[in-house]
């Protein structure tokens, strides 16, 4: 595994709500994978037995509907979690696909290794609860945006989250994520800029 910087460890400590000592312990079960741009990370019908944190880059999590259209459900960037949490906890196959949009570096941890940590020290059960809380909050935020925010508000939220990466992602994936056409996204961008 690559050398983890103090800043990265501090970021993980913040996200996972762990002390730096516990982050070091957690990192012992983690491994880093690098992906080239436009690489399929997880194909459809995979069982997600691992989750990851994006250290650098961007991915999209998407579905192919019955009409054969691909719909970007999530755009995940630096410090976001990737994976299908429902598949991770149930062991069932996922209909989600994950693709890197840029050169991307992901810090992964396998479910079996987290379970082994829990067997050694019940403390780690709190980590799994925190991860499920984060998954719930991410899902709720996504639903709130889809139901209560306009496409322009959704775009502005995405822009606030990661302006440096957003400009590198193809417009078709951003518009799919926002639930609008690429032409509508162009109009929103013109109004904003």
pTM: 0.87
pLDDT digits (tens, 9 = 90+) for 141-171: 889 998 999 999 999 988 888 887 778 888 8
In this structure, the answer to whether residues 167 and 103 fall within a common structural domain is no
Are 121 and 162 within one domain? Answer: no
Helix (H, G, I), strand (E, B) or coil at 143: helix
Q: 47: pLDDT confidence band, cut at 50, 70 and 90?
A: very high
pLDDT per residue as tens digits for the range 80-125? 889 998 899 999 999 899 999 999 999 999 999 999 999 999 999 9
Q: Does 88 reside within a domain?
A: yes
* C-alpha torsion angle, residues 136, 94, 1, 111 (rounded to 10): 70
Are 97 and 44 within 8 A, CB to CB?
Answer: yes
Residue 31 is part of which domain span? 6-138
Residue 165 located in a structural domain = yes
Given CA atoms 106, 76, 140, 73 in this order, what sign does their dihedral have? Answer: negative
One domain for residues 81 and 41: yes
Domain with 83 in it: what CATH number?
A: 2.60.120.10
Do 134 and 191 belong together in one domain? no
- Same domain for 27 and 105, yes or no, is yes
96 vs 88: CA distance, rounded Å: 12
Confidence of residue 3 (pLDDT cuts 50, 70, 90): low
Q: How many independent structural domains does the chain possess?
A: 2
| Residue 39 reports pLDDT greater than 80 | yes
């Amino acid at each position: 595994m690559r050398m983890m910087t103090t800043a990265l460890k501090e970021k993980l400590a913040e996200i996972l709500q762990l002390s730096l000592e516990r982050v070091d312990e957690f990192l012992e079960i983690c491994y880093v994978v690098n992906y080239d741009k436009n690489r399929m990370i997880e194909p459809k019908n995979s069982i997600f037995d691992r989750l990851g944190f994006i250290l650098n880059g961007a991915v999209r999590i998407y579905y192919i509907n019955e009409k054969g259209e691909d719909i970007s459900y999530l755009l995940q960037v630096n410090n976001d979690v990737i994976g299908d949490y429902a598949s991770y906890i149930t062991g069932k196959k996922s209909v989600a696909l994950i693709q890197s949009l840029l050169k991307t570096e992901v810090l992964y941890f396998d479910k079996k290794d987290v379970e082994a940590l829990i067997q050694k020290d019940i403390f780690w059960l709190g980590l799994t609860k925190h991860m499920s809380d984060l998954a719930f909050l991410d899902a709720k935020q996504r639903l709130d945006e889809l139901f209560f925010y306009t496409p322009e508000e959704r775009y502005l939220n995405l822009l606030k989250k990661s302006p440096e990466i957003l400009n590198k992602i193809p417009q078709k994936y951003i518009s799919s994520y926002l639930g609008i056409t690429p032409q509508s996204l162009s109009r929103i961008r013109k109004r904003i800029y």
